Protein backbone atom coordinates (compact mmCIF):
# COMPACT_ATOMS: atom_id res chain seq x y z
CA UNK A 1 0.00 0.00 0.00
CA UNK A 2 1.09 3.55 -0.57
CA UNK A 3 1.56 6.12 2.14
CA UNK A 4 -1.70 7.85 1.25
CA UNK A 5 -3.68 4.64 1.57
CA UNK A 6 -2.83 3.95 5.21
CA UNK A 7 -5.52 5.47 7.45
CA UNK A 8 -4.22 7.60 10.29
CA UNK A 9 -7.25 7.00 12.52
CA UNK A 10 -10.18 4.61 12.86
CA UNK A 11 -12.62 7.06 11.29
CA UNK A 12 -10.52 7.11 8.12
CA UNK A 13 -11.21 3.43 7.46
CA UNK A 14 -13.91 3.75 4.80
CA UNK A 15 -15.82 1.04 2.91
CA UNK A 16 -13.83 1.84 -0.23
CA UNK A 17 -10.48 1.61 1.55
CA UNK A 18 -11.42 -1.61 3.32
CA UNK A 19 -12.63 -3.22 0.10
CA UNK A 20 -9.23 -2.58 -1.46
CA UNK A 21 -7.32 -3.65 1.64
CA UNK A 22 -9.15 -6.97 1.90
CA UNK A 23 -9.05 -7.71 -1.83
CA UNK A 24 -6.01 -10.06 -1.67
CA UNK A 25 -7.67 -12.07 1.07
CA UNK A 26 -11.08 -12.18 -0.57
CA UNK A 27 -10.10 -12.26 -4.26
CA UNK A 28 -11.97 -15.48 -4.94
CA UNK A 29 -15.28 -13.98 -3.80
CA UNK A 30 -14.98 -10.39 -5.09
CA UNK A 31 -17.14 -8.99 -2.31
CA UNK A 32 -17.47 -5.27 -1.72
CA UNK A 33 -17.66 -3.57 1.66
CA UNK A 34 -20.79 -1.46 1.84
CA UNK A 35 -20.51 -0.18 5.40
CA UNK A 36 -17.95 -0.12 8.20
CA UNK A 37 -18.39 1.13 11.73
CA UNK A 38 -15.56 1.45 14.24
CA UNK A 39 -15.47 1.51 18.01
CA UNK A 40 -12.36 2.08 20.16
CA UNK A 41 -11.54 -0.85 22.44
CA UNK A 42 -9.01 -1.86 25.10
CA UNK A 43 -8.86 1.63 26.55
CA UNK A 44 -6.36 1.46 29.38
CA UNK A 45 -4.93 -1.83 28.14
CA UNK A 46 -3.68 -1.15 24.62
CA UNK A 47 -2.08 2.16 25.57
CA UNK A 48 0.91 1.65 23.23
CA UNK A 49 -1.33 1.92 20.17
CA UNK A 50 -4.80 2.69 18.96
CA UNK A 51 -7.20 -0.24 18.84
CA UNK A 52 -10.68 -0.48 17.40
CA UNK A 53 -13.25 -3.09 16.46
CA UNK A 54 -14.61 -2.77 12.93
CA UNK A 55 -18.11 -4.01 12.18
CA UNK A 56 -18.26 -4.71 8.45
CA UNK A 57 -21.14 -5.17 6.01
CA UNK A 58 -20.78 -6.51 2.44
CA UNK A 59 -22.80 -6.38 -0.75
CA UNK A 60 -23.53 -10.11 -0.47
CA UNK A 61 -23.13 -13.05 1.85
CA UNK A 62 -19.67 -14.53 2.19
CA UNK A 63 -18.33 -17.32 4.35
CA UNK A 64 -14.74 -16.03 4.35
CA UNK A 65 -15.32 -12.28 4.64
CA UNK A 66 -14.90 -11.27 8.31
CA UNK A 67 -17.92 -9.60 9.90
CA UNK A 68 -15.72 -7.97 12.52
CA UNK A 69 -12.01 -7.07 12.58
CA UNK A 70 -9.57 -5.58 15.04
CA UNK A 71 -7.74 -2.55 13.66
CA UNK A 72 -4.44 -1.49 15.17
CA UNK A 73 -2.97 1.95 14.46
CA UNK A 74 -0.36 4.25 16.05
CA UNK A 75 -1.22 5.77 19.40
CA UNK A 76 -3.21 9.01 19.32
CA UNK A 77 -1.08 10.18 22.26
CA UNK A 78 1.70 12.12 20.48
CA UNK A 79 4.54 11.51 22.98
CA UNK A 80 3.79 7.79 23.04
CA UNK A 81 3.50 7.63 19.25
CA UNK A 82 6.76 9.50 18.71
CA UNK A 83 8.67 7.38 21.22
CA UNK A 84 7.44 4.06 19.86
CA UNK A 85 7.99 5.14 16.26
CA UNK A 86 11.56 6.08 17.15
CA UNK A 87 12.09 2.72 18.85
CA UNK A 88 10.73 0.97 15.73
CA UNK A 89 8.09 -1.03 17.55
CA UNK A 90 5.29 -0.28 15.09
CA UNK A 91 7.29 -1.44 12.09
CA UNK A 92 8.49 -4.46 14.06
CA UNK A 93 4.99 -5.79 14.60
CA UNK A 94 4.05 -5.37 10.94
CA UNK A 95 7.18 -7.26 9.86
CA UNK A 96 6.42 -9.99 12.38
CA UNK A 97 2.99 -10.63 10.87
CA UNK A 98 4.39 -10.43 7.35
CA UNK A 99 7.32 -12.80 7.89
CA UNK A 100 7.05 -14.88 11.05
CA UNK A 101 3.57 -15.33 12.49
CA UNK A 102 2.64 -18.26 10.27
CA UNK A 103 5.98 -20.02 10.85
CA UNK A 104 6.10 -20.36 14.64
CA UNK A 105 4.57 -22.93 17.04
CA UNK A 106 2.52 -20.28 18.81
CA UNK A 107 -0.97 -19.32 17.77
CA UNK A 108 -1.42 -15.68 16.81
CA UNK A 109 -4.47 -13.82 15.48
CA UNK A 110 -5.11 -14.30 11.78
CA UNK A 111 -3.77 -11.23 10.00
CA UNK A 112 -5.75 -9.81 7.08
CA UNK A 113 -3.68 -6.66 6.49
CA UNK A 114 -0.20 -5.69 7.70
CA UNK A 115 1.12 -2.46 6.18
CA UNK A 116 3.86 0.00 7.13
CA UNK A 117 5.04 3.09 5.27
CA UNK A 118 8.73 3.80 5.75
CA UNK A 119 8.35 7.52 4.92
CA UNK A 120 5.37 8.51 7.03
CA UNK A 121 5.96 5.75 9.63
CA UNK A 122 2.23 5.10 9.45
CA UNK A 123 1.00 1.54 9.85
CA UNK A 124 -2.13 -0.52 10.12
CA UNK A 125 -2.90 -4.06 11.15
CA UNK A 126 -6.26 -5.71 10.54
CA UNK A 127 -6.50 -8.80 12.71
CA UNK A 128 -8.91 -11.54 13.55
CA UNK A 129 -11.43 -10.54 16.22
CA UNK A 130 -10.90 -12.86 19.19
CA UNK A 131 -13.32 -11.06 21.46
CA UNK A 132 -15.42 -14.17 22.04
CA UNK A 133 -12.50 -15.97 23.69
CA UNK A 134 -11.61 -15.86 27.37
CA UNK A 135 -9.47 -12.86 28.27
CA UNK A 136 -8.50 -12.81 31.97
CA UNK A 137 -7.86 -9.51 33.72
CA UNK A 138 -4.14 -8.98 34.34
CA UNK A 139 -4.87 -6.74 37.32
CA UNK A 140 -6.63 -9.70 38.96
CA UNK A 141 -3.74 -12.01 38.07
CA UNK A 142 -3.11 -15.09 35.97
CA UNK A 143 -4.55 -18.38 37.23
CA UNK A 144 -1.96 -21.09 37.88
CA UNK A 145 -3.32 -23.46 35.21
CA UNK A 146 -3.28 -20.66 32.63
CA UNK A 147 0.26 -19.78 33.68
CA UNK A 148 1.38 -23.38 33.17
CA UNK A 149 -0.05 -23.35 29.64
CA UNK A 150 1.58 -19.98 28.95
CA UNK A 151 5.08 -21.07 30.02
CA UNK A 152 4.86 -24.40 28.15
CA UNK A 153 3.78 -22.60 24.97
CA UNK A 154 6.52 -20.01 25.44
CA UNK A 155 9.17 -22.71 25.70
CA UNK A 156 8.01 -24.24 22.42
CA UNK A 157 8.37 -20.86 20.71
CA UNK A 158 11.82 -20.25 22.12
CA UNK A 159 13.03 -23.75 21.40
CA UNK A 160 11.86 -23.64 17.80
CA UNK A 161 14.09 -20.65 16.93
CA UNK A 162 16.96 -21.27 19.37
CA UNK A 163 20.13 -19.86 17.77
CA UNK A 164 18.40 -20.13 14.39
CA UNK A 165 20.08 -18.58 11.30
CA UNK A 166 16.73 -16.90 10.66
CA UNK A 167 17.42 -14.55 13.53
CA UNK A 168 20.17 -12.94 11.49
CA UNK A 169 17.90 -12.56 8.47
CA UNK A 170 15.15 -10.73 10.37
CA UNK A 171 16.95 -7.40 10.51
CA UNK A 172 13.75 -5.70 11.69
CA UNK A 173 13.99 -7.66 14.97
CA UNK A 174 16.74 -5.90 16.93
CA UNK A 175 19.19 -7.58 19.24
CA UNK A 176 18.47 -7.15 22.91
CA UNK A 177 21.18 -4.52 23.34
CA UNK A 178 20.10 -2.39 20.38
CA UNK A 179 19.79 1.14 21.70
CA UNK A 180 21.32 0.13 25.02
CA UNK A 181 23.21 3.40 25.34
CA UNK A 182 20.00 5.35 24.75
CA UNK A 183 18.34 3.32 27.50
CA UNK A 184 21.30 3.97 29.78
CA UNK A 185 21.34 7.74 29.21
CA UNK A 186 17.54 8.05 29.37
CA UNK A 187 16.95 5.80 32.36
CA UNK A 188 17.47 8.43 35.09
CA UNK A 189 14.86 10.68 33.49
CA UNK A 190 12.45 7.81 32.95
CA UNK A 191 12.88 6.67 36.54
CA UNK A 192 12.25 10.18 37.83
CA UNK A 193 9.01 10.45 35.83
CA UNK A 194 7.93 6.97 36.95
CA UNK A 195 8.25 8.11 40.57
CA UNK A 196 6.33 11.29 39.78
CA UNK A 197 3.55 9.38 38.01
CA UNK A 198 3.23 6.60 40.60
CA UNK A 199 4.77 7.91 43.84
CA UNK A 200 2.96 5.55 46.20
CA UNK A 201 3.83 2.44 44.16
CA UNK A 202 7.62 2.72 44.46
CA UNK A 203 8.91 0.87 47.52
CA UNK A 204 12.20 1.72 49.20
CA UNK A 205 13.57 -1.69 48.21
CA UNK A 206 12.64 -1.18 44.55
CA UNK A 207 14.24 2.27 44.66
CA UNK A 208 17.42 0.75 46.08
CA UNK A 209 17.53 -1.86 43.31
CA UNK A 210 17.01 0.85 40.69
CA UNK A 211 19.95 2.79 42.13
CA UNK A 212 22.15 -0.31 41.82
CA UNK A 213 20.99 -0.94 38.25
CA UNK A 214 21.43 2.66 37.04
CA UNK A 215 25.13 2.47 36.08
CA UNK A 216 24.68 -0.96 34.50
CA UNK A 217 21.62 -0.62 32.25
CA UNK A 218 23.63 -1.08 29.05
CA UNK A 219 25.74 -3.94 30.47
CA UNK A 220 22.64 -5.87 31.52
CA UNK A 221 21.19 -5.53 28.03
CA UNK A 222 24.49 -6.62 26.53
CA UNK A 223 24.46 -9.69 28.80
CA UNK A 224 20.99 -10.62 27.55
CA UNK A 225 21.98 -10.21 23.89
CA UNK A 226 24.75 -12.84 23.91
CA UNK A 227 24.19 -16.30 22.46
CA UNK A 228 22.36 -18.53 22.97
CA UNK A 229 19.49 -16.36 21.77
CA UNK A 230 16.03 -16.79 20.37
CA UNK A 231 13.04 -14.73 19.26
CA UNK A 232 11.51 -13.12 22.34
CA UNK A 233 8.00 -11.72 22.40
CA UNK A 234 9.22 -8.87 24.60
CA UNK A 235 5.81 -8.10 26.15
CA UNK A 236 4.65 -11.56 27.18
CA UNK A 237 1.91 -10.84 29.68
CA UNK A 238 -1.65 -11.86 30.45
CA UNK A 239 -3.17 -8.75 28.85
CA UNK A 240 -1.73 -9.92 25.51
CA UNK A 241 -3.32 -13.36 25.61
CA UNK A 242 -6.62 -14.97 24.74
CA UNK A 243 -7.60 -18.48 25.83
CA UNK A 244 -9.63 -20.61 23.42
CA UNK A 245 -11.18 -23.19 25.72
CA UNK A 246 -12.80 -24.96 22.74
CA UNK A 247 -9.49 -25.75 21.02
CA UNK A 248 -7.46 -28.40 22.85
CA UNK A 249 -4.68 -28.34 20.24
CA UNK A 250 -4.00 -24.58 20.34
CA UNK A 251 -5.81 -23.09 23.33
CA UNK A 252 -3.56 -20.04 23.76
CA UNK A 253 -3.48 -17.08 21.34
CA UNK A 254 -0.78 -14.45 21.82
CA UNK A 255 -0.92 -10.98 20.29
CA UNK A 256 0.79 -7.57 20.50
CA UNK A 257 4.18 -8.33 18.96
CA UNK A 258 5.47 -4.75 18.97
CA UNK A 259 8.36 -5.51 21.34
CA UNK A 260 9.66 -8.64 19.59
CA UNK A 261 13.47 -8.86 19.87
CA UNK A 262 16.37 -11.29 19.72
CA UNK A 263 17.82 -12.16 23.09
CA UNK A 264 18.05 -14.56 25.99
CA UNK A 265 14.88 -16.59 26.34
CA UNK A 266 14.28 -16.26 30.11
CA UNK A 267 13.38 -12.58 29.74
CA UNK A 268 9.90 -13.48 28.48
CA UNK A 269 9.46 -15.92 31.35
CA UNK A 270 10.66 -13.48 34.01
CA UNK A 271 8.43 -10.73 32.61
CA UNK A 272 5.40 -13.02 32.54
CA UNK A 273 5.81 -14.51 36.01
CA UNK A 274 6.93 -11.22 37.52
CA UNK A 275 4.17 -9.09 36.03
CA UNK A 276 1.13 -11.25 35.32
CA UNK A 277 0.66 -13.29 38.49
CA UNK A 278 -0.34 -12.02 41.90
CA UNK A 279 2.50 -11.80 44.38
CA UNK A 280 0.99 -14.64 46.40
CA UNK A 281 0.56 -16.99 43.44
CA UNK A 282 3.98 -16.22 42.04
CA UNK A 283 5.66 -16.85 45.37
CA UNK A 284 3.85 -20.17 45.72
CA UNK A 285 4.34 -21.44 42.16
CA UNK A 286 7.31 -19.61 40.62
CA UNK A 287 9.79 -22.44 41.23
CA UNK A 288 7.54 -25.09 39.68
CA UNK A 289 6.61 -22.91 36.71
CA UNK A 290 10.27 -22.18 36.02
CA UNK A 291 10.97 -25.93 36.17
CA UNK A 292 8.09 -26.57 33.78
CA UNK A 293 9.46 -23.98 31.34
CA UNK A 294 12.99 -25.36 31.47
CA UNK A 295 11.83 -28.95 30.98
CA UNK A 296 9.68 -27.88 28.04
CA UNK A 297 12.64 -26.00 26.55
CA UNK A 298 14.81 -29.11 26.68
CA UNK A 299 11.95 -31.18 25.26
CA UNK A 300 11.76 -28.70 22.37
CA UNK A 301 15.31 -29.66 21.41
CA UNK A 302 17.49 -27.14 23.23
CA UNK A 303 20.89 -28.52 24.25
CA UNK A 304 24.00 -27.21 26.01
CA UNK A 305 21.95 -24.89 28.21
CA UNK A 306 22.34 -25.76 31.87
CA UNK A 307 19.91 -25.05 34.67
CA UNK A 308 22.54 -22.80 36.25
CA UNK A 309 22.82 -20.70 33.09
CA UNK A 310 19.04 -20.56 32.89
CA UNK A 311 18.81 -19.29 36.49
CA UNK A 312 21.49 -16.66 35.86
CA UNK A 313 19.69 -15.45 32.74
CA UNK A 314 16.43 -15.29 34.69
CA UNK A 315 18.07 -13.05 37.27
CA UNK A 316 19.55 -10.68 34.70
CA UNK A 317 16.18 -10.55 32.96
CA UNK A 318 14.56 -9.38 36.18
CA UNK A 319 17.21 -6.67 36.54
CA UNK A 320 16.46 -5.56 32.96
CA UNK A 321 12.81 -5.19 33.94
CA UNK A 322 13.81 -2.20 36.05
CA UNK A 323 14.66 -0.12 32.98
CA UNK A 324 11.65 -1.48 31.07
CA UNK A 325 9.30 -0.53 33.90
CA UNK A 326 10.77 2.97 33.94
CA UNK A 327 10.43 3.25 30.15
CA UNK A 328 6.75 2.31 30.24
CA UNK A 329 5.74 4.09 33.42
CA UNK A 330 7.70 7.22 32.62
CA UNK A 331 6.60 7.69 29.00
CA UNK A 332 3.34 6.04 27.99
CA UNK A 333 -0.17 7.35 28.46
CA UNK A 334 -2.07 6.44 31.64
CA UNK A 335 -5.10 8.66 31.30
CA UNK A 336 -7.67 6.41 32.97
CA UNK A 337 -8.03 4.29 36.08
CA UNK A 338 -7.68 0.93 34.34
CA UNK A 339 -4.34 1.88 32.77
CA UNK A 340 -3.09 3.26 36.06
CA UNK A 341 -4.07 0.12 37.97
CA UNK A 342 -2.35 -2.04 35.35
CA UNK A 343 0.88 -0.08 35.76
CA UNK A 344 0.71 -0.02 39.55
CA UNK A 345 0.22 -3.78 39.55
CA UNK A 346 3.23 -4.25 37.26
CA UNK A 347 5.42 -2.08 39.49
CA UNK A 348 4.49 -3.83 42.73
CA UNK A 349 4.78 -7.34 41.27
CA UNK A 350 8.12 -6.72 39.57
CA UNK A 351 9.45 -5.12 42.74
CA UNK A 352 8.48 -8.15 44.83
CA UNK A 353 10.01 -10.57 42.34
CA UNK A 354 13.25 -8.57 42.40
CA UNK A 355 13.38 -8.76 46.19
CA UNK A 356 14.27 -12.47 45.85
CA UNK A 357 17.19 -11.78 43.47
CA UNK A 358 20.78 -11.27 44.59
CA UNK A 359 21.17 -8.11 42.53
CA UNK A 360 24.54 -7.20 44.02
CA UNK A 361 26.09 -10.55 43.03
CA UNK A 362 24.65 -10.44 39.50
CA UNK A 363 25.83 -6.88 38.92
CA UNK A 364 29.28 -7.71 40.29
CA UNK A 365 29.59 -10.54 37.75
CA UNK A 366 28.82 -8.37 34.74
CA UNK A 367 31.75 -8.03 32.28
- What is the full DSSP assignment across 179-196? THHHHHHHHHHHHHHHHH
Q: Residue 301 class from Cβ within 10 Å (0-12 exposed, 13-18 middle, 19+ buried)? A: exposed
The structure's pTM equals 0.93
The parts of the chain modelled with pLDDT lower than 70 are 1-4, 42-49
| CATH fold label, 3-128 | Phosphorylase Kinase; domain 1 (3.30.200)
CATH code 1.20.272 for 144-364: no
| DSSP helix/strand/coil, 115 | strand
> Using CA atoms, how far apart are residues 177 and 196, in angstroms rounded to an integer?
27
Going by their DSSP bridges, the two strands 230-232 and 33-40 should be labelled as unpaired
Give the SS3 label for residue 51: strand
User: What are the domain boundaries of the chain?
Assistant: 3-128, 144-364
In angstroms, rounded to a whole number, what is the distance separating the alpha carbons of residues 171 and 184? Answer: 23
**Residue 26 carries which DSSP code?**
S
Give all strands (DSSP E) within the chain, no chain letters.
33-40, 49-58, 68-74, 111-116, 123-128, 230-232, 241-243, 252-254, 261-263
- For 57-107, what is each residue's pLDDT tens digit? 999 988 889 999 999 999 877 877 887 888 888 999 999 999 999 999 999
Q: What is the pLDDT of residue 47?
A: 55
Q: Give the pLDDT confidence score for residue 45 in this predicted structure.
A: 47
Amino acid sequence: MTMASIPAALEEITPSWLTGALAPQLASESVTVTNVESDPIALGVGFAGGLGRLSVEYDRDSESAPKTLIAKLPSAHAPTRNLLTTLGVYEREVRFYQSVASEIPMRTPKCFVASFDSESKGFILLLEDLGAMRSPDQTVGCAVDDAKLAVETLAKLHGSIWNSPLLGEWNWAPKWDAGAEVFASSFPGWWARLQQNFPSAISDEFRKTAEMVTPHVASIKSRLSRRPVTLCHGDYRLANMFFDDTDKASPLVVFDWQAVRVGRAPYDLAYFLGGSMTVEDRRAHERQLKATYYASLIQAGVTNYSEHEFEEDYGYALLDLVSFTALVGGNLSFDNEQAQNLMIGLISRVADTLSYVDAERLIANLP
